[in-house]
Every structure is written in C-alpha cells, then in structure tokens.
Structure 1
Amino acid sequence: MLQIGDQAPDFTLNTTSGEPFRLSDLRGQRNVVLYFYPKDDTPGCTAEACSFRDQYQDFQDLGAEVIGVSSDSEASHQKFTQKHRLPFPLLADAGGQVRKRYEVPRALLGLLPGRVTFVIDKQGLIQYVFNSMSRATDHVSTTKDVLKKLLADG
C-alpha cells in the first residue's frame, strides 16, 4: 500500500452527475481526504459516509475536500448520495483501477474491497493512511486530527 510521503497517483473518474473529477485539479488549492469504501448502502459504508457528511463543514473549515471512491456505478452512487444527502462527490471506480493504483488491499479473506482513507496535502503528497474495515467512523475523526496538524504547520 502507498505510504506517507508518497506522491498520490493522479486519476480521473466520473462523479454521480457523470462529470469527470481529476485529483490534480485540487493540487495547490486544497488538501484531500480520499476514502475508499467497499459498497454503497451497506451498514459500515453508510455509517462512514454519514459521519463524513455530518462533519463535512469541519473538513471544509480545515481546507479539505472529501472524496469517496468505490467500484459501484454512477447510478448507485447517485441513489446513495440522494438517500443520505451527501455533500461531497462519490466517484465510480468501475473495475477498481484507481483502487489498484493506491494499492488498497482487499479485506475479509480477499472477498471485499478494503476500506482505506488517505489524507493528501496540497502538494499531492500522502500525509496519512488509515486502514480499517471494522472502525468505519474512526476514519473521520483521525483524518480531522491530521488536517488540524497540517493547517497548524502551515
């Protein structure tokens, strides 16, 4: 898996509206919380997404954009976004190409895509990696702490 200090691989994926999202478009502007999750509308993934939603303004105040990625389709992401009123983009990684570039491991004996969160600074460097299937909402609180430190360090 990619490590702290590595350059975050650039990518382009479609959002729920079918618009292309390019990670490099945020370089120099905002820190990014890029979280990979297994599947829309499952209990852990819903708890994680809603936790990011409920604290989204905190992330904005910390100068960061939250981006969710799974291999679900744009249509699935659209339903998930509408159902839970998610204010941040979900990206459709059909075939898992971006997941592979970020070296996100599979979980539960290789049966499920893993749950990993990366904090990427404005220069495109990975500043934090959190990998846990069972502690879905911990991804949110720990990334906020990292962003606070990045903001304090200037």
Structure 2
Amino acid sequence: MRELMTATLVLGLATAAMAQTADLKVGDQAPNFKLQATDGKTYQLSDFKGKKPVVVAWFPAAFTRGCTIECKSLAENGDKIKMYDVVYFMASVDPIEKNTEFAKAKSVTLGQGANAQVVEKKEADFPLLSDPTKETAKAYGVLNDRGVANRWTFYIDKNGKITYIEKMVKPETSAEDMIATLSDLKVPMTHKGTK
C-alpha cells in the first residue's frame, strides 16, 4: 500500500511538473507576463493588446557567447526592426541586475586565458526582460532541464495570439531573421529608421 501511495505521489508530481511547461502553438493565446526590464520599467503583454504586436526573444543566459552575439545583432539593427510597428524584447531567467549590466555592456569577454575573446557590441536599444522566478519561462514552455530558457522567439499579434514561434534562432543573423519574419507576417511598417 505504501508503494502504491508513493508511486501515486511521484506520478502526481511528475504530472504537475509537466503541466508547468506549456506546449504553445501558433494560434494559441500567448500567456500574459509582468516582468521587470533593463530600462527600469515593468512590462505586461496585456498592455499592448489591441495596440501593437510583440516579439519576445528568449535567450539562455547573459554574458554567454550565443546570447552576446544575438543581443549584438538586435542592437546593431534596431533601426531596421523599428521600421515595423512592433514592440520587441529579449528575455531570460537572469536577475534584473545581470540583464541590466549585460544590456549596457559595450564589450563582453568570452572564455578565459589564451582562449578569451572580446566581443564588441552596442548597448541594447531595447528592453531585456528578467524572469528570475522562471514562471513566465514555464508558461511559454521555454524552460529547459538546465534551468535556463531555450533560444526561442515568439511573435504575438496585437490580439495576443501567437503567430509564429522560431525554435531555430541563429544568433549571428537574429535581427535579419526577425525583420524577415515581421515582413512575412505582414506586420505594418512605421517608416521610422533606415533601410
């Protein structure tokens, strides 16, 4: 009887853990979030409902190679992204202090010793969101078994519906790929920025 109760408890906990990780699809309502950002503001997805599409680019960890390259790509091409009438964020489970330092960094040293490489980057001209409780990452289904977010980008229309999920993000071309996706999704242009 004790083994049966233990097995039932383990199965229940496993089911609860699986329920915490969403399996979102195109057409699903995007989970609302309320997260602190590197610009000192707190953003909620619901604030943009009926107003603007939103892009949330999840990344594993600040100050790591791929994440630095992705942030650099988005910062260097911000003027082109801003030609679209969209709000975009990068997001991770890092604490706000770490993401703020990362957003403001003009260079990042990757690796150590003789293998160290300095990557020059622009300061991020867009907010990075912090989800240290990992609740939003779980709601979006991006939290992996290492406890960090997968590098996935969610495109959400102004009605809060997911229109595309990019699960094969290439850090080096993340901005160009985002721009192409915004164009494919027919997101309206603002005509700000340069081509």
- TM-score tier, shorter chain, comes to 0.7 to 0.9
TM-score, normalized by length of structure 2? Answer: 0.70
The residue type equivalent to 2:24 in the other structure is L
The residue type equivalent to 1:91 in the other structure is L
- Bigger strand share: 1
Corresponding pairs, count: 150
Gaps of at least 5 residues in structure 1 are: none
Residue 134 of structure 2: aligned partner: 96
Once residues 46 and 36 of structure 1 are traced to their aligned partners in structure 2, the CA distance between those partners, rounded to angstroms, is 13
Gaps of at least 5 residues in structure 2 are: 1-22, 107-122, 190-195
Change in 2 beyond 3 A, CA 1:78/1:71: same
- Give how far 1:63 is off: 1.1
Residue 19 of structure 1: aligned partner: 41
TM-score, normalized by length of structure 1? Answer: 0.87
- RMSD between aligned residues: 2.0
The residue type equivalent to 1:96 in the other structure is K
2:137 is the counterpart of 1:115: no
Offset from partner CA, 1:34-73 (integer Å, 9 cap, x none): 0111111111000001111111122211111211111111
SS in 2 for 1:6: coil
- Give how far 1:9 is off: 0.8
* Correspondence for 1:31 among 53, 64, 69: 53
Is the CA contact 1:117–1:139 (under 8 Å) kept in the aligned structure 2? no
Offset from partner CA, 1:73-106 (integer Å, 9 cap, x none): 1111111111141011111101211010001152
Larger Rg: 2
Is the CA contact 1:15–1:90 (under 8 Å) kept in the aligned structure 2? yes
